[in-house]
Structure 1
């Protein structure tokens, strides 16, 4: 059984990437979040991604390119944020910004005891990054 077919416990996010930019999204997630791609299946056109399985910080993320010829078109869902709980927020934050993410909520020490901020990736998906405040 291929690594990308192993059963995954819990909930796994599955992103649809618009405008045939799935491969660029995989490259961004590798640069921004240290993702490891464990499997990729291309469409018959040899360009668009039917399925990609990524591992980020021990969790799974799946993605595919949009296929408007089958779905009638998609929109990035409003109100969805993917959260990364990490050991060193500043390192993850800076890496995401260097890879091309933009700040949605500045990174800061929060009232609930975490160091936390939010970014938007180049494909419109929102990510929160949080972890312990350094002493």
Structure 2
């Protein structure tokens, strides 16, 4: 894989994937969210994913397997946050994510604030919200 463009400044989520699930996570994010992997590094053991950089819906998400030897917690389920996808068609993105294995945790529905919105949990414990403006007419 060629060296990617430089990382832009800004806030970029960096996900730690429990166990050795990083490579499976990349494949899940491809299937569920149309992710494009821009860069990948394997650890010295040749198995664990040290770093992957993905483009999802125009934004960057980075991830790696957990590395307890570097002080990362082992098998900690993330809480209190969600990665938000503002998309062109929430129903399409929702269906693709659920077909790929995401589990609905808040049903996709028209919300009072004007979005069609719902939340799914990916197989690695990360919550994703999916939304698009309610279609009128």
Report the TM-score when normalising by structure 2. 0.93
Task: Provide the alpha-carbon RMSD of the alignment.
Answer: 1.3
Q: Distance in 2 between matches of 1:104 and 1:72?
A: 27
2:104 corresponds in structure 1 to 103
Following TM superposition, where does structure 1 have runs of at least 4 consecutive aligned residues deviating by more than 4 angstroms? Answer: none
Give SS of 2:20's match: coil
Q: Aligned partners of 2:63, 2:29: CA distance in 1, in Å?
A: 11
Task: Report the Cα distance in structure 2 between the residues aligned to 1:25 and 1:41, rounded to whole angstroms.
Answer: 14
2:31 corresponds in structure 1 to 31
Unaligned runs of 5+ in 2: none
- Residue equivalent to 2:65: 65
Measured at CA, do residues 59 and 72 of structure 1 come closer, stay the same or move farther in structure 2, by a change above 3 Å? closer
Shift of 1:69: 2.1
**Unmatched segments (≥5 aa) in structure 1:** none
Is contact 2:23-2:49 (8 Å) kept? yes
Count, aligned residues: 134
Q: Which residue of 2 aligns with 1:78?
A: 79
Q: Give the aligned partner of residue 113 of structure 1.
A: 114
- What SS is found at the alignment partner of 2:80? coil
Alpha-carbon shift at residue 7 of structure 1 (Å) = 2.8
Query: Residues 42 and 106 of structure 1: is their aligned pair in 2 closer, same or farther, counting only changes over 3 Å?
Result: same
